[in-house]
Chain A
Amino acid sequence: MTNTSGGTVRKPKSPPPEADRVVRTVCSPNCMGTCGVNAHVRNDRIIKLEPASFPDPGFERICLRGIAMATERLHHPDRISHPLIRAGERGANVWRQVSWDEAYDYILNRQQAIAERHGWRSNAWVSMTGNYAFRASTSARRMANVVGGTYFSKLGLTADSAAYMGMRAIFGVDYASNDISEVGQAKFLLSVGKNVVDTGHSEMHFLFDAMERGLKFTMVDPRFSRSAAKADEWLAPHPGTDVALALGMIHVVVSEGLIDEAYVVTHTNAPFLVREADGACLRDENGEYLVWDLAAAAPVPAGAAISPALRGSWTVSQRGEEIDCVTAFSLSWREWEAFTPQHAASICGVPPEQIASVAREYATTEPAWLWVGYGPQRYAQGHTVVRAWATLASLCGNIGKPHAGMNTNDGPLMLLLFSPTAEWVTPQGRVGHSLPGTRMVEAIASGEPYPVKSLWMSAYNFGTQSPLLKRFVREALPNLDLFVVSEQVMTDAAVYADVVLPCVSYYEDDWDVVGNIENWYVQLRRRAVPPVGESRNDVDIFGGVCDRLQLGHIWNVDPEQSCRDYLSNHTDPRIRAVDFEALKRDGVARVPVDRPYTPFRDQKFATPSGRIELYQEQFADLDEAVLKAKPQAESGQRDRFPFHLITYKHTHSTHSQHTILPMIAEVLPEPRLEIAPTDAARRNIADGDVVRVFNDRGHFVVKANVSNGVPPGTLAMPQGWWKRHFASGHPSDLGHIPESPVQTRIAETNYSVWDFMCDVEKEEQP
């Protein structure tokens, strides 16, 4: 290299060190992006992270979170590298370093004493999503099964399960989504609260590619998220009013004749005859659902009708009884008819003209891809939000159509984690007990339905990611004879533990399989660096207990063999078809599904009727047979607490894992509460002022970011911050889990993170 100014070519300042090896593994926190990564390792430290090779180069990607995680979290100052037993009061954060043997003795003495007195079910486990490979993620549940303990289910605590329950009620499955890499063939994308820019930024390039080819991207989001900034059009409903917005759009497509009636009468239960008296579907003597066949001018089994009526009411004679009937659609329309765009606008705040124009655009553009994120379902009526958008998609005939559909999430990640292989998770048929995680505090505090006297928590920053820590410490912890936390760092919940066990990060663990949520690849996770200190993986940590209980022969499986068996014994034939040898060789293998991947292409639905159940007969007694907009949980408290608070996912952190990393702190150093200028002015709050956000349950103190990005009446803040980031309190202290009878009937009440009201005031400085 010649040098025009006479110098010689030198290496840049602080020349990047060379790696002594490069290991392909998988970044797998709960962003669900599961990027394949090449970890560059020198002297057993990760010095750099690069995207790993993928069969589809579109999935060669990483992000700042993954880079910071790999290079800064493993040797973070807060890293726990040895077993610890508390040496002070619970919560005092004073510890005694012990051997694994001593830690196990401590744990087992107490667990066995509890088991002798109450049975093994009084020893409980709970785990969350901090590590998204199957061995790590299912190990707590497996452990509860092997010893006959209790597993507190995670679904409701994830705050995602209202979406699953809404999907299950309507389509018979918990989730469905197209493959993001196939978005290029869509012409219109309506994203409802799926803030893909912030939360799925490694998938965003597919969407940009599609936009360059002419796709229109319309974003629905109460705040001006980065997705709203990048969208072609933005709709800003008030928080928690999605059902009204969807009903406004449904009103437009129905009243303007834009629905696909042939599809609706063939594939949904909208033409089913419903008894006026009790909302039950009318069936014949064989239990077949009846519709009104216009050709026969008579009620006919749905499958046999030539010309089923979508609208109308009739009096039907059945077994000598005169029964007043109406089609499910006409019954629904009685509720929906009021939801003109003007009426919907009065609730959701989106201008009526915009509701109408977006509805028309959605109904008339093909293919139109509807995406629904988890944000809109983080309200007590979250299942109804998903139902509302699914109803719009179904009425427009968009289900089972390539590049269209009602899309939440899908892919092998969901199959691996939510349909776990029985041979793995219930080894030798051993099944323990299960209680709803969202009722964990009540169960422990009350001893109902039975006493729970020990709790072991893993992969869960319970202190930041749940509304329960404050109540847990006050109401549940005193009832526990033992509280164990497996962790990498001393979290806000681990501080309260009796025993803290050092857990590896996924870079220190060998052999696990990870799926993705919006593509159809599975990847193999291999060890990049040795475990830090004495840390062990979740499977081996629990295995130490099993060994001491003489259950090692049931628990222990060779790690590679467990991966092979998990796939080959999986309930889903698509997972069984994965080529494990290719996965072992390349680190990545595709689940063989058709392209374009199109859920419900066969128009078969695992519902009672086999159709899309727009009408929910099962909830007639709970006033939810017909889709309707209901108020938010605390809307009656607006006089006292006028603000919603949206704690949103953002580019710089997935949940709480990344906010403590130094490089992340350089680009986003602290939480700031976004507040509209008019709200701020009324409270004499200036940008950067310290403010107190509060309701009857709790408070937190934070600096204000006076921003036009939020509307009046709404506060917003990135989530994932720890107690250390607030002068006082924590946002999770303001939350609650109001009971939803419908959700409890389907599965378990979801944690409705955002369904509460609060107020904000300037914090007086001492």
Chain B
Amino acid sequence: MSERMAFVIDLKRCIGCDTCVIGCKVENAVPSGEARIAVYDSGRRPLFEKPEGQFPALSQYWLPTMCHHCEDAPCVKVCPTTTLWKREDGVVMLDVDKCVGCQRCDEACPYDAISFDADVGTADKCTMCVHRIDAGEKPSCALVCPTRAIHQGDINDPGSKVSELLRTRDHKVLAESSGAAPQIYYLEP
């Protein structure tokens, strides 16, 4: 079977520390004020602590999101150029040189995973650190995550860590109804 690259993110382990956000920015030279990863706090995106419930019956969880590298990627479908395209292993690529800045991808993405750099007029998003994974290394977010919450690998390889996690833990994808077949699997908290 061909490779199918995916992220598996353990919501029990994610502490919302934003190390993945900053590690990614440094690894990929993401400009100031932009990010390829966003960490949601209990389904919202406030910058300040806001647990859910009434004291002391409270809960709070954190959820990192980046490009979901959808199997049926809406962004690739709507891209009028070939800026957005899919590798055979499933990674959704963004060739910025071809981007005309139409922002249709941004509108089509069910996960708000594409940012638009107004200064240069082009789209930007996570590429699963292909420059690293093609060299056999972890993507930056998985490397720097202090709690070992982020995993990346080939879910078609039954021997991979991501496959093992999906076999042994309850998991979900976000907005399954989008039909895009997203490839970030979240292990339930």
Contacts and interface: CB of A to CB of B under 8 A. Distances in A.
A669 B47 contact: yes
Nearest to B39: A667
A2 B82 contact: no
B23 interface: yes
A49 interface: yes
By size class, the interface of chain B is 35 or more
Contacts of A12: 28, 94, 96, 127, 130-131
A7 B95 contact: yes
B51 A224 contact: yes
Contacts of B59: 229
B51 A705 contact: no
Nearest to B128: A12
Nearest to A671: B48
Contact of B146 (A61, A230, A668, A708): A61
Interface string B18-30: 1101110111111
Contacts, number: 176
Given A12-B130, A62-B144, A67 B55 contact: no
B78 interface: no
Interface string B29-66: 11111010001000000011111111110111100000
A541 interface: no
B85 A67 contact: no
Contacts of B53: 708
B56 A234 contact: yes
Interface stretch (B9-17, B101-109, B152-160, B176-184): B9-17
B162 interface: no
B171 interface: no
Nearest to B54: A708
Given A3-B85, A13-B94, A64 B21 contact: yes
B29 A16 contact: yes
Given A16-B27, A47-B26, A708 B50 contact: yes
Contacts of A50: 143-144
Interchain residue pairs A-B with the least CB separation, the first 8: A5-B85, A14-B29, A13-B96, A64-B19, A667-B18, A229-B60, A651-B17, A202-B146
A71 B23 CA distance: 11
25 contacts: A4-B87, A5-B85, A6-B85, A7-B82, A10-B93, A10-B97, A11-B131, A13-B122, A16-B131, A62-B146, A63-B144, A64-B18, A71-B26, A202-B146, A204-B15, A205-B146, A208-B12, A224-B51, A236-B55, A651-B16, A664-B22, A666-B32, A668-B48, A674-B48, A707-B48
Given A204-B146, A652-B18, 12 more contacts: A1-B88, A10-B93, A13-B94, A16-B27, A16-B131, A50-B144, A51-B144, A211-B12, A229-B51, A229-B61, A651-B15, A707-B48
Contacts of B172: none
Contacts of A197: 15
Contacts of B50: 705, 707-709
Contacts of A436: none
Contact of A230 (B15, B23, B96, B143): B15
A204 B19 CA distance: 14
A51 B138 CA distance: 12
Interface string A221-237: 00010101110001010
B141 to A, nearest CB: 11
Nearest to B60: A229
B143 A668 contact: no
Interface string A709-730: 1111000000000000000000
A738 interface: no
B86 interface: yes
Contact of B147 (A6, A15, A205): A205
A68 B22 contact: yes
| Most interface-central of B54, B56, B87 (chain A CB within 10 A) | B56
A262 B51 CA distance: 45
B74 to A, nearest CB: 14
Q: Which residue, of A17, A652, A709, has the highest number of chain B Cβ atoms within 10 A? A: A709
A204 B124 contact: no
Nearest to B38: A667
B32 A662 contact: yes
Interface string A630-669: 0000000000000000000001100000000011101111
Given A3-B87, A7-B95, A11-B131, A708 B51 contact: yes
B56 A711 contact: yes
Given A14-B28, A67-B23, A705 B49 contact: yes
A668 B47 contact: yes
A226 B16 contact: yes
Nearest to B13: A208
Contacts of A662: 32
Contacts of B58: 224, 228-229, 708-709
A16 B139 CA distance: 13
Given A12-B28, A17-B29, A49-B26, A710 B55 contact: yes
- The interface centre, meaning the residue of B52, B85, B97 with most chain A CB atoms within 10 A of its CB, is B85
A637 to B, nearest CB: 24
A234 B57 CA distance: 10
A304 interface: no
B21 A667 contact: yes
Interface string B61-101: 10000000000000010000010111110000111111000
A205 B35 CA distance: 25
Given A197-B15, A666-B33, A9 B60 contact: no
Given A12-B127, A208-B12, A224-B60, A709 B55 contact: yes
